[in-house]
Amino acid sequence: MASKKEKVNHIIEILEKLYPVVPIPLDHKDPYTLLVAVLLSAQCTDERVNMVTPKLWKLADNPVDMAVQEVEDIKAIIRPCGLSPRKSKAISELSQILIDKHNGEVPESFEALEALPGVGHKTASVVMSQAFGVPAFPVDTHIHRLAYRWCLSTGKNVDKTEKDLKRLFPREKWNNLHLQIIFFGRQFCPARGHKPDECPICSLYGRKG
């Protein structure tokens, strides 16, 4: 039986072989558009966000232009992403805060990001890792599910899963790993219709029963 370290190293090997290059799933052109796209992706698929954002960027693609838009106009565009009343208000307010407190720039710190309306730890982690290259391990429902299935975490909550994964995997791998696990989950390890015996990782290390 493989030790935990051998298992983790083998999982890294499998993921790197399958996904040597990992594109960022959300279309964006700078930290601000990534921040807004990640905010929109809450309880929404990346595909749908990518369908909505081109129209939103035509309205405004920077904090200065976004802050002067009517919240109702933002809401009308992002409605397909769900939770549009809350998300549109957050986009408007955070844009103004970026102007007032951060010279119109997205701040490069977890604390400053998490202080913005609509921005939780996961969103801040995605921005820090993908926009600024700071090691982070954003845990979404896919990663949470797979970490439990692979017996890497107890599955109690996403905070515990994040701590467990950060402890198990090398820090320099985090930014790629979280994307590799998301792609793997979509391709081989879905929430529904999962076939453990056919999954390249669950077949080896999956939770029994």
Of these residues, 7, 87, 122, 164, which one is catalytic?
122
Among this protein's residues, is 4 annotated catalytic? no
One-character DSSP codes across the chain: ---HHHHHHHHHHHHHHH-SS---SS--SSHHHHHHHHHHTTTS-HHHHHHHHHHHHHH-SSHHHHHTS-HHHHHHHHGGGS-HHHHHHHHHHHHHHHHHHHTTS--SSHHHHHTSTT--HHHHHHHHHHHH--------HHHHHHHHHTTSS--S-HHHHHHHHHHHS-GGGHHHHHHHHHHHHHHT--SSS--GGGSTTHHHHPPP-
Residue of 27, 46, 73, 140 marked active site: 140
Angle between helices 141-149 and 158-168 (to 10 degrees): 60
Asked about 122 being catalytic, the answer comes back as yes
Active-site amino acid positions? 122, 140
